[in-house]
Chains A and B, each alone.
Chain A
Amino acid sequence: EVQLVESGGGLVQPGGSLRLSCAASGFSLSNYGMSWVRQAPGKGLEWVSSIIGSDIYYADSVKGRFTISRDNSLYLQMNSLRAEDTAIYYCAKDLWAYYDILTGYSPFDHWGQGTPVTVSS
């Protein structure tokens, strides 16, 4: 059974840093694209970053401040945090292994429960 469990969220001052983790089980993390998606309070879903094989993508709003990585877990290093980064952060798994994708990209299938990040002084 696939499970994704995020951790590392919390309250941080503007300009501070946090490192989010997403512990994955039930599949081989290195074989699947993984993403971070966030949701600001009362707002919709916003894609943040993805790692697919050796390819990495970032939303313009976080480029240069956030870094996605993975070893046995998925991580999101968040630096220079701003008030507008306040959100629940979800990790999401791709449906297809990256080497099985012939064209385009994979949709998500599983999501974690989310970890809240609050940026405030």
Chain B
Amino acid sequence: DIQMTQSPSSLSASVGARVTFTCRASQAIGNYLAWFQQKPGKAPRSLIYAASTLQSGVPSKFSGSGSGTHFTLTISSLQPEDFATYYCQQYNTFPPTFGGGTKVESK
């Protein structure tokens, strides 16, 4: 199975900050990489697929990049509604696998 590793596991940031976090795959997955946002007690929300394509309705403050084994998610200006846990997932091969998540907390 392909292992997905996210870093950091948590970070503290202020409203308005630009934040970037990383997802690494244990083997090359092309651009078959998705990002999800999850708030406590809520279902995941799909943000990005194909490493950099925003899902419908997702604001442009979110951006993704990368290919192969190294990927990043950036929030350009953190807003109160963005404090959540973010997961990456590869869908290049079965089984699809998720990273352990990055929790974004208020500083």
- Give the B-binding residues of A (Cβ under 8 A): 35, 37, 44-47, 50, 57, 59-60, 90, 92, 95, 104-114
Count B-side interface residues using an 8 Å CB cutoff. Answer: 27
Q: Which residues of chain A are near B101, meaning CB under 8 Å?
A: 44-45
Query: What is the CB-to-nearest-CB distance from B37 to chain A, in angstroms, rounded to a whole number?
Result: 11
Query: What is the CB-to-nearest-CB distance from A35 to chain B, in angstroms, rounded to a whole number?
Result: 8
Task: Give the number of residue pairs across the A-B interface with Cβ within 8 Å.
Answer: 66
Closest to A52 in B: B94
A50, A59, A107: which contacts B46 (Cβ < 8 A)?
A107
Chain A interface mostly helix, strand, loop or mixed? strand
Chain B interface mostly helix, strand, loop or mixed? loop
**Of residues 67 to 107 in B, which have CB atoms within 8 Å of A's CB atoms?**
87, 89, 91-101
Q: Known: A44-B101, A45-B98, A47-B98. Contact between A104 and B91, CB under 8 A?
A: yes
Contact at A90–B34, with CB atoms within 8 Å? Answer: no
Q: Which residues of chain B are near A106, meaning CB under 8 Å?
A: 91
